[in-house]
Chains A and B, each alone.
Chain A
């Protein structure tokens, strides 16, 4: 392709770290755009990117989160498209990005399917993943899309609750629109401006969602539910304590959904949860969230 430079946008910083890693390996310069609020609340990943030699550009505009990082990355790209490849971090953006990212992420679903068959001798009853832009979910779903018996469940960020308007649940709380080159469900005002989103987890803090998720929601092949900050933090704590695994706050939304569903399912039901990332990056963020919400912390699970 002849590209000499990489750029990316990142919310939680996971995609930024991945892109910075590739750039280090290939000896390419790399600029990662990240909302200023996310730079602040995901500082361990900022440090990782810098160690890997990437330049992290804090974007102060708009809501200073993921969508603003994407705006800035697009601005860079249109100016530098000759020598720069834009590595979009989720199944959003203009075609063919949603398809490309899904195909690359499908390793998750393929591997999970193989592991399920090897370990349990059968497919899971439900495959559950969190949905920010929707890449880890689409990657997981790709492995099971042709297995109609496997229920596909995407989990959106409910933030402070759907009713408060402070959330990032585009499918559950949004309306069809066009942003970043994709027609998709968007959180927007009555006159079509994009609303600032909110979630305790930086990676889910995006006002849109990959268009293929809207398709799966329309056809009913997948269902999309909502988990709020408090439920996600409770699930985060639970996995730490019971399993010794510190999950990403994003993934904790998927986990919380599984915990919510489990009691009404048969004992031998098999729930596959995508732990899309680890939670070291979230230690400080969770601590601060608990301090802010000290008056009404969720019951330990």
Chain B
């Protein structure tokens, strides 16, 4: 099944961008993040990114960091997140599920054991925040035979040849284009050169492109989707959960 490809196709056929929602699994509790995923899917999310809490979230802003620390305090591990994914899959057959993690958690489990567990949970793809292009082959070699894809991150200063190389050999995936230089977290304004950058990236890949980091309002999502196939919302959702509100856009 190519749920990620299909999610983007479905969104396009409906004349909109795909909505990708990030959750730190285990915040405020495993049950609550599972319910939040249900709510988001009911509210139209096409793909859910399941964030795995890590002790040293150096690519994350304050909101997601706090969520990760709280989840860790409750003892939430990669295995718990995979078990959550498996439960979500049981009643969301067509939603794309992406595991969003720091590499040491995956590496520590062992790449083969991890890939087996991810396949058992019927995860569609893995995104490793701190696994650069040059080092990703080992993980991809474990994922490929299980039909699990990989989502590359594209930074604002990633050269175009590297964008193309990052997209190379991937199927049932998308390019996660980071909107701003910096870490996750809401931004009042997105950089003025973002739309031009998205247009440029579009030219070097046949994969869908989705923009993320800093997006928190409908207005921002709309602007981005005029130039991209989808958008990611993370901190804004986690912040709502932190405030005891329902997860929705």
Which residue numbers of A lie inside 8 Å of B, CB to CB? 61-62, 67-68, 70-72, 74-75, 78-82, 175, 177-181, 186, 188, 190-194
Question: How many contacts between A and B, using CB within 8 angstroms?
Answer: 71
Contact B103 A178 (CB under 8 A): yes
In the bound assembly, the distance between CA atoms of A74 and B60 in angstroms comes to 10
Chain A residues with Cβ below 8 Å from B105 are 191-193
Shortest CB-to-CB span from A138 to chain B, Å, is 22
In the bound assembly, the distance between CA atoms of A56 and B106 in angstroms comes to 34
User: B interface, by DSSP: helix, strand, loop or mixed?
Assistant: loop
* B133 interface residue (CB < 8 Å to A): no
> Which of these, B54, B58, B107, contacts A75 with CB under 8 Å?
B58
Q: Mark B82-123, 1 if CB is under 8 A from A, else 0.
A: 000000000000000000000111111100000000000000
Chain B residues with Cβ below 8 Å from A181 are 130, 132
Beyond A67-B56, A71-B56, A192-B78, whether A78 also contacts B109 by CB under 8 A is no
Shortest CB-to-CB span from B172 to chain A, Å, is 25
Contact A79 B182 (CB under 8 A): yes
Near A by CB (< 8 A), chain B positions 218-240 give: none
Beyond A178-B104, A188-B108, whether A194 also contacts B55 by CB under 8 A is yes
Contact B55 A177 (CB under 8 A): no
Inter-chain pairs besides A78-B59, A194-B56, 20 sampled, C-beta below 8 Å: A61-B65, A71-B56, A71-B57, A74-B58, A78-B183, A79-B183, A80-B181, A81-B157, A175-B108, A177-B107, A179-B56, A179-B104, A181-B130, A186-B104, A188-B104, A188-B108, A191-B77, A193-B72, A193-B104, A193-B105
In the bound assembly, the distance between CA atoms of A277 and B104 in angstroms comes to 33
Total B residues in contact with A, Cβ cutoff 8 Å: 27
Contact A191 B182 (CB under 8 A): no
In the bound assembly, the distance between CA atoms of A175 and B104 in angstroms comes to 11
Chain A residues with Cβ below 8 Å from B72 are 193
In the bound assembly, the distance between CA atoms of A129 and B139 in angstroms comes to 36
In the bound assembly, the distance between CA atoms of A116 and B182 in angstroms comes to 48
Contact B58 A71 (CB under 8 A): yes
Chain B residues with Cβ below 8 Å from A61 are 65, 69
Of all chain A residues, the one with the shortest Cβ separation from B101 is A192
Of all chain B residues, the one with the shortest Cβ separation from A61 is B65
* B200 interface residue (CB < 8 Å to A): no
Shortest CB-to-CB span from B114 to chain A, Å, is 10
Contact A75 B55 (CB under 8 A): no
Interface centre among B54, B77, B79, B108 (most CB of A within 10 A): B108
Q: Mark B118-154, 1 if CB is under 8 A from A, else 0.
A: 0000000000001010000000000000000000000
Interface centre among A68, A75, A79, A180 (most CB of B within 10 A): A75
User: A interface, by DSSP: helix, strand, loop or mixed?
Assistant: mixed
In the bound assembly, the distance between CA atoms of A181 and B129 in angstroms comes to 11
Contact B181 A79 (CB under 8 A): yes
In the bound assembly, the distance between CA atoms of A80 and B54 in angstroms comes to 24
Closest 6 CB pairs of A and B: A192-B108, A79-B182, A193-B55, A71-B58, A192-B105, A191-B77
Of all chain A residues, the one with the shortest Cβ separation from B128 is A178
Contact B183 A192 (CB under 8 A): no
Contact A81 B181 (CB under 8 A): yes
Shortest CB-to-CB span from B43 to chain A, Å, is 31
Chain A residues with Cβ below 8 Å from B79 are 191
Of all chain B residues, the one with the shortest Cβ separation from A80 is B181
> Which of these, A62, A75, A190, contacts B182 with CB under 8 Å?
A75
In the bound assembly, the distance between CA atoms of A82 and B182 in angstroms comes to 11
Contact A78 B181 (CB under 8 A): yes
Chain B residues with Cβ below 8 Å from A70 are 58
In the bound assembly, the distance between CA atoms of A78 and B185 in angstroms comes to 13
Contact B78 A180 (CB under 8 A): no
Contact A62 B77 (CB under 8 A): no
Contact B58 A180 (CB under 8 A): yes
In the bound assembly, the distance between CA atoms of A175 and B107 in angstroms comes to 11
Shortest CB-to-CB span from A81 to chain B, Å, is 7
Chain B residues with Cβ below 8 Å from A72 are 58
Of all chain A residues, the one with the shortest Cβ separation from B131 is A178
In the bound assembly, the distance between CA atoms of A75 and B181 in angstroms comes to 10
Q: Mark B48-87, 1 if CB is under 8 A from A, else 0.
A: 0000001111110000010001001000011100000000
In the bound assembly, the distance between CA atoms of A200 and B106 in angstroms comes to 32
